[in-house]
Amino acid sequence: MKNFTEELGINGHLTIIKKFTDGQEEVVFDDHNIIVSGMGVGLTYMFTGSGSNSVLDYQIDRFQIGVSGPPAGGVTSAIYELSGALEEDEYGAGSNLFIKKGFQIKNQGSSDTTYAALIPANKITKIGDSSVRYTLVVDEEACNGLERDSLEANINEVGLLMKNPKGSTAGEPILVAYRTFSNIMKTDDFSLIFRWTINF
């Protein structure tokens, strides 16, 4: 039986680019993404009128970076959170990213404190009638020299989140798209550009 997002035909594509300080670019990833069950949850709140009354709360307006790669059990549409989402300070104090602290809807409807980077409005572009491109820029000063348990930590997962489908006063985003990729050790020699297209 197809899930709700499959029935609606929602899919996506992600390209990751290293952009070096001299202007050169290197494509390090170019493939489809996983539309996760949180997309169906968020859209169900909207279509049934049981969630937020504001259409703005159903926008995809933030993203997370992670360092733990595929969740235990592999990557499926049932993922509700990144395996190793970054903490606030790991995004980098000198970067241009605006980090938002809040609760995130996770499995079984539970919520937990999390951090996500907001996507500027000028980095969200409508392409045609049914596609939106999100350009996520992790600049030279962001996410450098990451460590977990005193060991180097590589960036290897990313997720998009819907703003606040339940209409909670404090705001509760939910993960709607996810992708793992080969390890990237981020340094100040380059920025990472995630060009993420979602087709509705």
Residues 150-155 have a mean pLDDT of 93
Number of residues in the chain: 200
- Domains held by the chain: number: 1
Domain assignment present for 187: yes
pLDDT of 2: 45
> What pLDDT was estimated at residue 1?
36
Residue 4 has pLDDT above 80, yes or no: no
5 falls within a domain: no
- Give 102-125 pLDDT, tens digit per residue: 999 987 666 788 999 999 999 999
- Is 4 a member of any domain? no
Asked whether residue 190 is assigned to any structural domain, the reply reads yes
150 vs 193, more confident? 193
Average pLDDT score over residue span 82-95: 94
Residue 63: per-residue pLDDT:
98
Q: Using 50, 70 and 90 to split pLDDT, how confident is the model at 53?
A: very high
Residue type, 104: Q
DSSP state of 142: S
**Residue 142, amino acid:** A
Residues 48-63, mean pLDDT to the nearest whole number: 96
User: Which of 12-16, 150-154, 191-195 is predicted with the least confidence, judged by mean pLDDT?
Assistant: 150-154
Is 7 among the domain residues? no
Q: pLDDT class for 7, splitting at 50, 70, 90?
A: low
Per-residue pLDDT, 3 = 59
200 assigned to some structural domain: no
Element (H, E) at 43: helix 37-48
CB atoms within 10 A of CB 12: 23
pLDDT at 99 over 60: yes
Please indicate, yes or no, if residue 185 is contained in any of the structural domains. Answer: yes
Would you give the distance in Å from CA 185 to the centre of its chain?
18
The dihedral region occupied by 92, where left means phi > 0, alpha psi between -120 and 50, and beta the remainder, is left
Query: Which of 180, 195, 185, 172 shows the shortest CA–CA distance to 38?
Result: 172
> What average pLDDT does the chain have?
92
For residue 139, the enclosing domain spans 12-194
Q: Is residue 75 scored above 90 in pLDDT? A: no
pTM (2 d.p.): 0.93
Residue with tokens 């996810």: 178
pLDDT digits over 153-183, tens only?
A: 999 999 999 999 999 998 999 999 999 999 9
Is 3 domain-assigned? no
Q: Name the percent of the chain lying above pLDDT 90.
A: 80
Of 72, 71, 76, 90, nearest in space to 186 by CA: 90
Q: Which residues contact 15 (CB under 8 A, 6 or more apart)?
A: 27, 29, 30, 194, 195, 196
